[in-house]
Amino acid sequence: MGHRVVTGVQQPRPIQLILPLVLLVILLAAVWAESQDYYKLLGVSREAMTREIRQAFKKLALTMHPDKTPGDPSAHEKFLQVNRAYEVLKDEDLRKKYDKYGEKGLDEQQQGGRYESWNYYRYDFGIYDDDDEIITLDSGDFGDYPLD
């Protein structure tokens, strides 16, 4: 018996194999660009003092400012990233949040903004909101009562 040759079955072309890999690399690069390490962006260590952070930012600002690089279409975005890193790392409270939670912690702070005691329990006790036997309070419950 001889070998049978199957015809009609199309073999994948190299481009069909490479294209998904290229798309994956692009996706990973986009995710990485979204969440860059602020310390690496400024070129300082995690132990850097505020003065070192300010000096690093000033050096970068002089070279990366969009006015200094008019031929680079991404210069504005790069400068904004460096500026954001500086704004966070120079502020002691923001820096602590960034060190502990990363950019996600900063995003939540911007959404929530100020501290409210009920906000601490918002995610943990929401399961009781539908229960008539348990009363949950929020900031709106205290707005109409005068302080004595």
Q: What is the 3-state secondary structure (H, E, C) of the chain?
A: CCCCCCCCCCCCCHHHHHHHHHHHHHHHHHHHHHCCCHHHHHCCCCCCCHHHHHHHHHHHHHHHCCCCCCCCCCHHHHHHHHHHHHHHHHCHHHHHHHHHHCHHHHHHHHHHCCCCHHHHHCCCCHHHCCCCCCCCCCHHHHCCCCCC
Q: Is residue 56 part of a domain?
A: yes
pTM of the model: 0.51
Q: Is residue 107 part of a domain?
A: yes
How many domains does one find in the chain? 1
Q: Is residue 62 part of a domain?
A: yes
pLDDT tens, residue by residue, 68-117: 888 888 888 888 989 999 999 999 999 998 888 888 777 765 555 454 44
Q: Is residue 89 part of a domain?
A: yes
pLDDT beyond 90 at 27: no
